[in-house]
Amino acid sequence: MDMLITFFSENLLMIYVLLLAVFLGFEVISKVPTVLHTPLMSGANAISGVVIIGAILLIRQAESTDYLALTLGFIGIILGMINVVGGHAVTNRMLEMFKKKPAK
């Protein structure tokens, strides 16, 4: 228990950031037209690929003989990158369709 408390006091700033980000997320999204629900979900999904940063850090920290870290990190980067690149590309494809309208 003590260690949990130490963890919290040591990461106090992080926890503030976390709380503020929660509310920021709520506020940013709260008024969205239904039309944009799918692209928004897809865009947010791409952003959740930010977990790839962890995979990159992990593999950079690994010794070149640490095969578990290298293998899982390698797979992690591939999966994360598919999420990021594919997510943004698919979102862009959806939104491209909306764009044609005003031009017409």
Partner 1 sequence: MEFNQILEQIVNLGYLVGVLLFIIGLRQLSSPSTARRGNLIAAAGMGIAILVTLIVPMDKGADNYILILVALAIGTAIGLIASKRVAMTAMPQLVSLFNGLGGACAVAISVVELNDYQAAFEANGAGAIASGVHLTTLLAMFVGAVAFTGSLVAYGKLQGLIDDRKVRIPAPTYVNLFLLVVIIAGIVFKLVAPVNPFFWVMIVMGIALVYGITFVIPIGGADMPVVISLLNAFTGVAAALAGIVYGNQVMLVGGILVGSSGTILTVLMCEAMNRSLLNVIIGGFGSTGAAAAGSGDQVAREITVNDAAILLRYSNSVIMVPGYGMAVAQAQKVAHELEEVLEGMGVSVKYAIHPVAGRMPGHMNVLLAEADVPYPKLLDLDDANQALADTDVVIVIGANDVVNPAALDDPSSSIYGMPILEVLKAKNTIVMKRSMNPGYAGIQNPLFFKEKNRMLFGDAKKTLQDLVAEVKSLE
Within residues 6-65, the interface with partner 1 by CB under 8 A covers 6-8, 11, 14, 17-18, 21-26, 28-64
Q: What is the DSSP letter of 66?
A: -
Q: Residues binding partner 1: what is the number (CB under 8 A)? A: 86
Shortest distance, CB of residue 10 to partner 1, whole angstroms?
8
Helix (H, G, I), strand (E, B) or coil at 17: helix
> Which residues 66-85 are close enough to bind partner 1 by CB under 8 A?
68-70, 72-85
Q: How far is the CB of 62 from partner 1 (least distance, A)?
A: 5
Contact 91, 39 (CB under 8 A): yes
Least distance in Å: CB of 78 to partner 1? 4
Query: In angstroms, rounded to a whole number, what is the distance separating the alpha carbons of residues 59 and 43?
Result: 26
